[in-house]
C-alpha cells in the first residue's frame, strides 16, 4: 500500500479489510476489533500469485471480504476468525480448489478399496533404482543405501 494524503503512514483506516503483499505472497489483513478471541491480527493468504497485475484481481475480493466482515459472517460465535467461510469465498472466486472430504474408504457401490500390492520397502527400492543413474555412486551409497 502506498502512502497517500488520507493515510500518511500507509495504513488502512480502522475496520477495513486490506489485501497486500506480505512475506512473498498476497494476504488479506483483517482488522483486530471483530476478532477479540484471536491472539494476533488475522492475516490469510488469498492464493493470488505475486506477479504484475495482481492489484486488479483483488478489488472484487476485497469488497466481498469487507461485506462478509460487516455482516458478521467471518466471525464465529466465539469471536474467532471463521476460516471455513473464508475458504468458501476463495473457492467462489476460484482462488482455491474445492476439496471434498471423503467420509469412508469405500467406493460408490459400497465395496472397500483394494489394498496396495507393494510394500513400503519395495516402493523405496524402486525409487532408489530410479534416482541411481542421476547421482554419484558414493553419494547414492551413503544417502540412499546407508553404506
SS3 27: strand
- pTM over 0.75? The answer is no
E strands, 4-56, in order: 18-22, 25-29, 43-45
* DSSP reduced 3-state for 109: coil
> How far apart, in whole angstroms, are the C-alpha atoms of residue 66 and residue 70?
6
Place of cell 507393494: 118
Long-range contacts for 87-95 (Cβ within 8 Å, ≥24 apart)?
89/61, 89/64, 89/65, 90/46, 90/47, 93/60, 93/61, 93/64, 95/46, 95/47, 95/48, 95/61
CA-based diameter of the chain, in Å?
A: 67
CA distances from 107 to 99, 112, 113, 117 (A): 18, 6, 6, 18
Q: Can you give the pLDDT of all 147 residues of the chain as single tens digits? A: 444 444 555 565 667 888 888 777 888 888 888 888 888 888 888 887 777 777 777 888 888 899 988 888 888 888 888 888 888 888 888 877 776 655 555 566 667 767 778 888 888 888 888 888 888 888 888 887 776
Q: In the chain, what are the domain boundaries?
A: 18-92, 114-147
Amino acid at each position: 500500500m502506498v502512502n497517500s494524503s488520507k493515510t500518511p503512514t500507509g495504513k488502512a483506516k480502522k475496520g477495513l479489510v486490506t489485501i497486500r503483499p506480505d512475506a512473498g505472497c498476497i494476504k488479506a489483513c483483517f482488522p483486530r476489533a471483530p476478532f477479540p478471541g484471536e491472539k494476533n491480527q488475522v492475516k490469510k493468504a488469498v492464493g493470488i500469485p505475486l506477479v504484475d497485475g495482481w492489484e486488479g484481481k483483488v478489488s472484487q475480493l476485497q469488497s466481498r471480504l469487507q461485506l462478509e466482515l460487516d455482516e458478521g459472517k467471518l466471525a464465529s460465535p466465539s469471536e474467532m476468525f471463521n476460516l471455513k467461510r473464508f475458504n468458501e469465498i476463495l473457492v467462489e472466486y476460484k482462488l482455491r480448489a474445492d476439496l471434498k472430504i471423503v467420509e469412508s474408504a469405500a467406493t460408490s457401490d459400497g465395496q472397500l478399496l483394494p489394498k496396495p500390492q507393494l510394500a513400503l520397502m519395495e516402493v523405496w527400492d524402486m525409487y532408489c533404482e530410479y534416482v541411481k543413474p542421476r547421482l554419484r555412486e558414493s553419494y547414492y551409497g551413503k544417502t540412499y543405501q546407508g553404506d
